[in-house]
Amino acid sequence: MKAASKIIFLLLLIAAVSCNVNDLVSDLTSSKITAKEKLGDVMNFAKTDFAADAQLAAIYGREISTQGEIDLLNSQSLSAFVYVVQSDSLQANEFYSPIFKARPVKSPINPASMLSFIKDSTAKNLISSIFGTLATVHIDPSAIYEDSPETLSRLLNRNDVETFRVVNPTSKIDMFLLPAKSLDSLRAINSADWVVNFYSDTSSLVLWINSSNFDIINLSDL
């Protein structure tokens, strides 16, 4: 009986280890990423490629899925995460995007192309003014903020979002992670807030999630 028990235990252990290895391999080879998933890789590369004092200034997510992800191997879409990196010493920004199984690359997407998908003029003007400060403002490396999937989950069941997506069935989703103090200068905490742009060819619904209390504000109402 003892020998049989040992054999059963070993079989269960081997099965568990095999499952964990398979999960690990799957994770390492997955081409789908969230906003925070490749942040460390991008910042490490930027510190050698751009500036030793490189800091994260913003994240732009273009054509994000409803799961808060992009697929690095999806050639049918222009989806991407773009990491805006800031240097105090250079007073400048650089833009990077992760590549599947390769080091990040400098991104051709810039603020002008990011803003082109915001159709609401009030929201566009606000985001444009924020972009103008990013060469001198960064997100505190210790700031705690939600990843893209958690952020979208707060919005997709809202009545205004559901209505917009029903009226605009081919609409897309873009996301902006911005320094909180650039959105609200009265706030003392240097955290980061998400702004999410639901948009069609002609209209946008742009929502700001305040990271201090998770209030959701329509930027067109500001």
CA distance 64 to 159: 20
Question: Model confidence over 71-88: pLDDT tens digits?
Answer: 999 877 789 999 999 999
Residue 21 has pLDDT above 70, yes or no: no
* SS3 of 175-188: EEEEEHHHHCCCCC
CA distance 218 to 204: 11
Question: Model confidence over 98-140: pLDDT tens digits?
Answer: 999 999 999 988 899 999 999 999 999 999 999 999 999 999 9
Q: What is the pLDDT of residue 22?
A: 41
How many CB atoms neighbour CB 115 within 10 A? Answer: 15
Residue 92 has pLDDT above 90, yes or no: yes
Q: Are 151 and 196 in contact (CB under 8 A)?
A: yes
Kindly state the DSSP code that residue 202 receives in the 8-state scheme.
Answer: S
Strand segments (E) across the chain: 32-33, 55-62, 70-71, 80-87, 92-99, 102-106, 172-179, 192-199, 204-209, 216-218
Residue 192 has pLDDT above 50, yes or no: yes
Nearest to 178 by CA among 155, 150, 211, 204: 211
Q: Which two tokens stand for residue 50?
A: 């751009």
Confidence of residue 29 (pLDDT cuts 50, 70, 90): low
Nearest to 115 by CA among 137, 131, 136: 131
Angstrom distances, CA of residue 41 to CA of 26, 29, 55: 19, 15, 13
CA distance 101 to 136: 32
Q: Which two tokens stand for residue 54?
A: 């490189």
Q: Which of 23-27, 159-163, 186-190 has the highest mean pLDDT?
A: 159-163
Tell me the whole-structure pTM to 2 decimals: 0.85
Residue 164 has pLDDT above 90, yes or no: yes
More confident: 55 or 108? 55
Domain boundaries, the chain: 32-221
Residue 25 has pLDDT above 50, yes or no: no
Q: Which two tokens stand for residue 27?
A: 């994770």
